[in-house]
Amino acid sequence: MPIMSIEDFSFTYASAPARSLSNINLPIQKNCITSLIGPSGCGKSTLLRSLNRMHDLYPNNEYEGKLMLLNQENNEMENILDIKRENEFIELRQRVGMIFQKPTPFPMSIFDNVAYGLRISGIKNKTELKDRVEDALKGSALFGEVSDRMNKSAMGLSGGQQQRLCIARAVALKPELLLFDEPTSALDPISTAAIEELIVELKKDISIAIVTHNMQQASRISDYTAFMYLGDLVEYGETEQIFLNPREKKTEDYITGRFG
């Protein structure tokens, strides 16, 4: 069952003369990892950033079609493109979290970083905050490394630790869907392995969509893979099928390294 269903979705940047995404139809399956692959400029990040309406930060971008998000309370699909009010945006972004390419620790303590979203969502009780922060750090395999310096600045962590901190910060809000935008492309191989392991661990509770340039990464961790090219969705299917038995010539050419 999909947690999100992308239906006839198109997107145009304010500054661009033409659509950057056209007529995308794609499900994001619940408690699965869906990876978006494709050469640079194919629109995979643009698509990912649409799923929590990140493009609304900048004026005059245009969405068309539907982005249906599952409401887990009544099992109905709701179109997130209908969202207009500030508090609806806040709720959407707490339900659909995002991790960026470069680690983005805030200039504050490790504890305050993880507690940031919780405080925004109105949790003030100190013990509850402490518990949720610790749970999130444990769930992100970071607690052991930082438990003795929770009040130290997060800027002192290594790149890999900072990225896991950002994941903990997002996980603390108990999102339903977590979007990863090339989360390991700025990290060394060991940190990358730790993040991949963590992402696989997270899918028990959270559905995941990940944009990656690294095809080995997509084949290692994802259950479903979507291949995009020049703003179109070329092929979507189970990861094994896409990598071993692609239906489209373009997909085969890309995954065998003939272009891209």
Binding site for other proteins (CB under 8 A): 52, 54, 57, 59, 86, 89-91, 93-94, 97-98, 100-102, 104, 106-108, 116-117, 120-121, 166, 169-170, 173
Nearest approach, Cβ of 153 to other proteins (angstroms)?
11
Nearest approach, Cβ of 130 to other proteins (angstroms)?
18
- d(Cα 186, Cα 31) in Å, to the nearest integer? 26
Closer residue to other proteins in complex, CB, 91/248: 91
Nearest approach, Cβ of 154 to other proteins (angstroms)?
12
Closer residue to other proteins in complex, CB, 47/255: 47
- d(Cα 149, Cα 11) in Å, to the nearest integer? 44
Nearest approach, Cβ of 100 to other proteins (angstroms)?
5
Q: What contacts 245, CB < 8 A, 6 or more positions away?
A: none
Sign of CA dihedral 260, 16, 94, 68: negative
Cβ atoms within 10 Å, residue 187: 20
124 φ/ψ angles, rounded to the nearest 5 degrees? -115, -25
Closer residue to other proteins in complex, CB, 63/100: 100
Closer residue to other proteins in complex, CB, 88/128: 88
Sheet holding 96-99, edge to edge: 96-99, 177-181, 207-211, 33-37, 224-229, 232-238
Closer residue to other proteins in complex, CB, 72/121: 121
| Alpha carbon distance, N-terminus to C-terminus of the chain | 32
Nearest approach, Cβ of 255 to other proteins (angstroms)?
29
